[in-house]
A and B are shown apart, each in its own frame.
Chain A
């Protein structure tokens, strides 16, 4: 009896591993787009659990236009570039700012969106950006983002008296803002506008960081995909669907 159970268990394990490996192989030609699903309105999961958002729908359109298949894989933002380089995913179309530092590791498509960084505070807040970023206040930001890096290098190191609290995602920073653990949060203007539509928060203003461009990231050696994405973006931005997307997601 005991041996039988044991054998069945081993069989089960072997089968499940083979099935797992089979799934890997079957992926074949489908490109995988890694998204930070905690980044509405550019990338999130909808009510039914399907990936949705401005970037997701853009890539879907490009894939159809350029004749390839794409799957969106939600993952942690912190590990998204390592995942791309380790070939876990083939591209990142998820509101990624084009920076020189990131360009050393990956290639970017042409810019498709200009984004400003803003300070968000609760609706009733009467303070200015300068007042919020002083007095030893706590300010929230998403870990691993360009704004987190910029604030550390250009404000905190230069002697501004406030401390930075880092979160997994911008929505978590908003939640803690409403909890009162931080007085303000720094983030891209698009998710800030998204938060304003859903929660009692408002954009106070910019904090001196230059606006950035979003682009899709692909691996350095993957020039074929880069060309496809660039051509696809060009066609998308010239098509009426681009305006539809903007109207729908209001980034």
Chain B
């Protein structure tokens, strides 16, 4: 037991450096998902019939194919086909980002739809263009409403990021596995990995909760 703790203590800095990789992957993926997700949500709500159909296929694809399959498909398949040499790290961000964009788009769509329709009409009556009205009136409200759902999505992406170890991304899980292979101390390593993920989940959701309160408009309810 004592021996396990000593090994764990020795391996901790290495595992914690892995959490930086995990954070980089998750932050990158969430931001990519945010940008793409907002575009998709806007397209789905305001777009024409064909745009909505294409978006439907996109969402169906990225929600329907397992993460591991997509990682291999992009990393080994698409990268060689298109002859582009992306690192495992970059591919992980792109794949996780595209998947979460499909889920995030539905969070944003729900938020946009929950706003009273009269607001847009009022904006038009004031002479605002569609784009201006969406950017200045709809999105600022919808994004605020999306934060709780978004923090849920954060914890899912964080946990999914552990799968990227299959491509050789040296994140928490991969590192725990490496140390366990050298020392044959499986239990303390995976236990430590689990604790680090728990802490990251807590910090992330806590931070988003603070953000939610910070951007809250006093006295406003939709």
What is the interface of chain A, defined by CB distance below 8 A to chain B? 1-3, 9-10, 12-13, 16-17, 20, 23-24, 34, 37-40, 44-49, 73-76, 79, 82-83, 85-88, 168-169, 171-172, 174-175, 195, 198-199
Contact = CB atoms under 8 A, between A and B. Distances in A.
Given A49-B14, A199-B184, A79 B166 contact: yes
Contact of A171 (B14, B79, B90, B184): B184
B72 A79 contact: yes
A16 B35 CA distance: 14
A9 B34 contact: yes
A34 B168 CA distance: 10
A74 B178 contact: yes
B76 interface: yes
- Chain B, interface size: which category? 35 or more
Top 5 A-B residue pairs of the complex, sorted by shortest distance between their CB atoms: A75-B168, A38-B181, A49-B14, A2-B140, A171-B181
Contacts of B31: 9, 12-13
Interface in B77-96: 79-80, 85-90, 93
B180 interface: yes
Contact of A174 (B17, B90, B184): B184
A168 B168 CA distance: 13
Contacts of B179: 45
B76 A83 contact: yes
B85 A37 contact: no
Contacts of B143: 2
Given A23-B87, A79-B76, A3 B135 contact: yes
B181 A49 contact: no
Interface in B96-143: 135-136, 139-140, 143
